[in-house]
Amino acid sequence: MNDTHARVLMIDNYDSFTYNLVQIMRALGASVEVKRNDEITPTQARAGSYTHLVISPGPGCPDEAGVSKSMIESLAGELPILGVCLGHQAMAEVFGGKVGRARCLMHGKASRITHDSSGIFAGVASPMLVGRYHSLVAFEATLPKELIVTAETIPDERTGETREIMGLRHATLNVQGVQFHPESVLTPTGPMLLANFLGVDRAAAERVVLIDGPTDALTPTGEGSVA
């Protein structure tokens, strides 16, 4: 296992799959501390000597996600930040975009997406399959020029699939978001995306075993599952 020296702060938006993300990052060698979105402030986070920040998926909309938006506002430019699903939507709103109802509601469905091979997508094949669990999306027409679309769904008339934004990154800050779930079994290359975010060898990601269903909270020193 690689020692990444990464100390990740995970903001948990009361989501059942938060610990699936935690498990993968621990399997990749990171130390991960989980705080619910009402358990920590940006000031406390800044004092915590974290190296990375992840904003988890969760129910509701970004304005209902506790400190998620204020964490991004306060720590962008200080830490690499990754927003997942609700976290991605929070990122879009923080930088001036708008979020609303998607044309197609997705819950536990796989979609094919294309990406630009930048940031967390570096070295990952495109198109790729991803698992989607959401009813809200960021609207491209509302995005400021600082937010770059990095991934999108491939429209398919046979299935009714429409084009939706699946990834964003900030043009100058190390802040990225994905609308899909990289921890899902429906996203086979998800661990590679997280390895890119943490800056570790993707070979470690190939040994990660994805879990079908929510993972219970792990002990602070617990490791993820590696084949």
- Band of pLDDT at residue 25, cut at 50, 70 and 90: very high
Cross-strand pairs, 136 = 101
For residue 26, the model assigns a pLDDT of 96
**Sign of the CA dihedral with 81 first, then 87, 92, and 94 last:** negative
- Tell me which residue has tokens 């997280």: 194
Contact 126, 114 (CB under 8 A): yes
Is pLDDT at 4 greater than 90 in this prediction? no
As annotated, the active-site residues are 85, 181, 183
Is pLDDT at 140 greater than 60 in this prediction? yes
CATH superfamily for 7-205 is Class I glutamine amidotransferase (GATase) domain (3.40.50.880)
Question: How far, in Å, CA of 41 to CA of 61, rounded?
Answer: 19
What's the distance, CA 119 to chain centroid?
A: 12
pTM (2 d.p.): 0.90
Between the two ends of the chain, the Cα-to-Cα distance in Å is 11
Question: How far, in Å, CA of 64 to CA of 10, rounded?
Answer: 17
**Average pLDDT rounded to a whole number, residues 208-218:** 71
Is pLDDT at 3 greater than 60 in this prediction? no
For residue 134, the model assigns a pLDDT of 80
Cross-strand pairs, 181 = 131
Contact 112, 127 (CB under 8 A): yes
- pLDDT tens sequence across 144-189: 999 999 999 998 877 767 889 999 999 999 999 999 999 999 999 9
For residue 219, the model assigns a pLDDT of 39
Question: What are the two backbone dihedrals, phi and then psi, of residue 103, each rounded to the nearest 5 degrees?
Answer: -65, -35
- Which of 137 and 87 is assigned the larger pLDDT? 87
For residue 172, the model assigns a pLDDT of 98
- pLDDT tens sequence across 52-100: 999 999 999 999 999 999 999 999 999 999 999 999 999 999 999 999 8
Question: How far, in Å, CA of 33 to CA of 198, rounded?
Answer: 15
Helix 86-94 to helix 68-75 angle (10° resolution) is 50
> Which of 157, 177, 176 has the alpha carbon at shortest distance from 104?
157
- pLDDT tens sequence across 75-85: 999 999 999 99
CA distances for 226 relative to 70, 147, 158, 223, angstroms: 34, 34, 37, 9
Question: What are the two backbone dihedrals, phi and then psi, of residue 203, each rounded to the nearest 5 degrees?
Answer: -60, -35
Question: How far, in Å, CA of 142 to CA of 219, rounded?
Answer: 41
CA distances for 220 relative to 21, 78, 217, angstroms: 14, 24, 9
